[in-house]
Amino acid sequence: ELLGKEAALYVPSGTMANQICLRILTEPGDEIICEKDCHIFNYESGSPAALSGIQLHPLDGKLGVISPSQVEEVIRPVSAYYMPRTKVIEIENTHNRAGGTIHPLENIKALRQLADKYNLCMHLDGARIWNASAVTGIPVNEYAKYFDTVSCCLSKGLGAPVGSVIASTKEMINKAFRIRKAWGGGMRQVGVIAAAGLYALQNNRERLKEDHEKVRILADAINKNPNLEIDMESVQTNILIFKPLNITPDDAINKCKEKGLLLSGGKINTLRAVTHLDVSFEEIHAAIKIMEEVF
């Protein structure tokens, strides 16, 4: 109901959610157009090729956003039997590797028009779509209605211990049931953990705004530190990507960990910080002090 689709299916992980969606939309030899830093291209173990026999065509977006003109330029001619067949346009909203950036709704609408023009499908990796909605005020189902399939995560900002959901038409979800089983995602007594996801949906969506406030406080402090570099335009939701100038990312991660601050690596030579419901405002200020000591 939240996503405005006919049916939905619970799966163990976001990767499985995305891969099931791509599988039900494609045939072997098809091609997916996506942004070069997206999750399905960088963090899903080459699964499109390994599991579905499809390839990805990554485009260089700005803050994770690809334009209709970029996409149209690489759509394969239908008559070119010797080329892979363009089948799906995929976007990630919010965009993890770009720093939690939001894909503008108007651009999504334009991509949908393009997809219809060329008889293509669209998939939304909406692992953090709840964060986009919390910032823009645009309902999640308004984002979702432009896509044939949608995946979303219950265990990131929403705080459930595990689980993702895919949503589409009843026909597509019936196909997804079979693929989930074949890929080992059909679990017994799954209602026990699905209940936590339901609680998260009912209780934790509104509080996502707090995570965004925490990130802004942290980003402002990073921006004032001469030994750190951050693109403030990318600070939109609950993820920060920033660059240390006086220390390597690996050394920074280790030194911060020794002092009780957990960071991870982002893209090359960058660090990544994420706020969520288990990080308090007090801990944000403690993190700032640790960063002042390390950087």
Q: Please give the full DSSP string across 178-204, using - where no structure is assigned.
A: HHHHHTT---TTTHHHHHHHHHHHHHS
Sheet holding 228-230: strands in order across?
228-230, 239-244, 271-274, 264-265
Residues of the chain with pLDDT under 70: none
Q: Is 46 left (phi over 0), alpha (psi -120 to 50) or beta?
A: left
Per the CB < 8 A criterion, the answer to whether 23 and 168 are in contact is no
**pLDDT of amino acid 267:** 85
**pLDDT of amino acid 85:** 98
What's phi and psi for 95, nearest 5 deg? -100, 110
**pLDDT of amino acid 217:** 98
Domains of the chain (ranges; CATH) run 7-203 (3.40.640.10), 208-294 (3.90.1150.10)
Residues 6 or more apart in contact with residue 103 via CB below 8 angstroms: 64, 65, 91, 92, 93, 94, 95, 132
**pLDDT of amino acid 195:** 96
**pLDDT of amino acid 266:** 83
Distance (Å, rounded) from C-alpha 149 to C-alpha 147? 5
Identify the CA nearest to 91 among candidates 117, 134, 120: 120
Average pLDDT of the chain?
Answer: 97
Distance (Å, rounded) from C-alpha 262 to C-alpha 244? 15
Distance (Å, rounded) from C-alpha 239 to C-alpha 222? 13
Q: What is the pTM of this model?
A: 0.96
Distance (Å, rounded) from C-alpha 125 to C-alpha 101? 13
